[in-house]
Amino acid sequence: MQANSKNGKGRSELTEESQLPSLTLDQLDVLRKFALLEIGVEEMRRSLAGVFEFQFDPKAPAGPSLYRTAKTSFRVPEPGIVITREHISNALERRRFELISERDLVVWATVLLMNDAYALDPADEDLIAEWLNDISFNLDAS
């Protein structure tokens, strides 16, 4: 079951995953391009409106950590979009050459962690998870 909407009382409603729509080929392509940083977060957000929405606020209402929420309204693809060491290397290289900002890097890592369409490469799952979490939680997103 996935939380897929808010009712008027602020509670999440749960929907059986089998009742959710599958991502389209175009939406899967957008997610692949985002994972490679070939498109930015706003293009990804527009293309996935209604099926994946997230809030990302570097100034949490209470405490030093970032405020992050995500709402998915799609059936998890099988197989998922596999995130590998090469994705991490590509992102860090783009940051090193200032092709993306540190905030872009943090948002990228956070989205990869929050979107169920992404799956970490089983061969390097622990390493990739550690890197994504480090980027997401330890770099400056302001």
Q: Write down the pLDDT at residue 14.
A: 64
Q: Write down the pLDDT at residue 55.
A: 84
Cβ-proximal residues to 78 (8 Å cutoff; 6+ apart), any chain:
none
Q: Write down the pLDDT at residue 137.
A: 85
pTM of the shown model = 0.82
Angle subtended at Cα 30 by Cα 21 and Cα 95, rounded to the nearest 5 degrees = 140
User: Over the chain (142 residues), what is each successive 10-residue block's mean pLDDT?
Assistant: 40 70 96 97 94 77 64 92 98 97 94 96 97 90 70
How many helices (H) and strands (E) are present in the chain, helices listed first? 5, 6
Rounded distance between C-alpha atoms, residue 59 and residue 126, angstroms:
28
Q: Write down the pLDDT at residue 92.
A: 97
